[in-house]
Structure 1
Amino acid sequence: MIEWFTWVQVGVAVLSGLLCLALGFAGRAPNDWSMGAALVVELLLVVQLVVAIVAPAVGNPPTGSLLEFYVYLVSAIILVPIAGFWALVERNRWSTVILGVACLAVAVMVFRMYQIWTVQVA
């Protein structure tokens, strides 16, 4: 993992989550802002997947369990589209809140992936 990219991902996921929560608690149904914020989080996760595949080949291997890392990464990649699908199927304020919770969960998962990659010793 790349440290600065990890912090960018965490920051974008937290900002997206807070935006979606604010919109949801304000009574707004999912719109371009909330879905776009979730899409940015998802795109960054896909870039992280590419980085995670390439990093060991260029001399940046994980120090923790590679299986645990990929379970977190795949779960995070799946979580956002599921929340987005839910938001599009059930268009009410709580769907926007669910998008926010999913983005905040991704922020926590990315931080945990960073810990697995750099801090833990297998």
Structure 2
Amino acid sequence: MIAWFAGVQIAVAVVGALLAIILGLLGRKPSDLTMGPLILVELLLIVQVVISIVAPLVGNEPSGSLLEYWVYLISAALLPIAGGFWALIERSRWSTVVIGVVCLAVAIMVYRMTQIWFVQGL
């Protein structure tokens, strides 16, 4: 795991969450403006999967449980897919809020992944 990349992931997810939650509470249905950040969060998680495969091979070992880390990463990668699918099927203001909650959950999960990789077990 790369610390600055995790910071970028968290920042993008939080901005996407705030945008979607505010727009959803204002009554906006899912649109490109709310789905775009969700897609970006998913793309960043896919890059994180690649980084997480390569990092231990080049000597960047996690300090915590690798199994726990991967469970968080796979779960976080599935959340935007599920939230985006739901938002496309049920096009209501609450779907936009759900997109925001998904982005916020991903931000929290990435933060926890950084703890597992860098802090836990020290």
Establish whether TM, by shorter chain, passes 0.5. Answer: yes
Unaligned runs of 5+ residues in structure 1 are none
Q: Say yes or no: does 1:106 pair with 2:106.
A: yes
Where structure 2 has 5 or more consecutive residues not aligned to the other structure, the ranges are: none
Quote the residue 1:55 is aligned against.
Answer: 55
Q: Which residue does 1:35 correspond to in 2?
A: 35
The total of aligned residue pairs comes to 122
Letter in 2 for 1:70: W
* Residue 85 of structure 1: aligned partner: 85
For 2:36 and 2:26, locate their aligned partners in 1 and report how far apart those are by CA, in whole Å.
18
Identity of aligned residues (%): 61
Please identify runs of 4+ aligned residues in structure 1 that moved more than 3 A: none
- Counterpart code for 2:96: T
Aligned AA for 1:23?
L
1:17-68, Cα deviation, whole Å (9 max, x unpaired): 0010011011000000101110000000000000000000111010100000
Q: In 2, Cα distance between the equivalents of 1:31 and 1:23?
A: 10
Matches of 1:53 and 1:20, distance apart in 2 = 31
Cα distance, 1:121 vs structure 2: 1.2
TM-score by length of 2: 0.98
State yes or no: 1:7 paired with 2:7.
yes
Letter in 2 for 1:60: N
TM (norm. structure 1) is 0.98
> Please, what is the CA RMSD of the aligned residues?
0.8
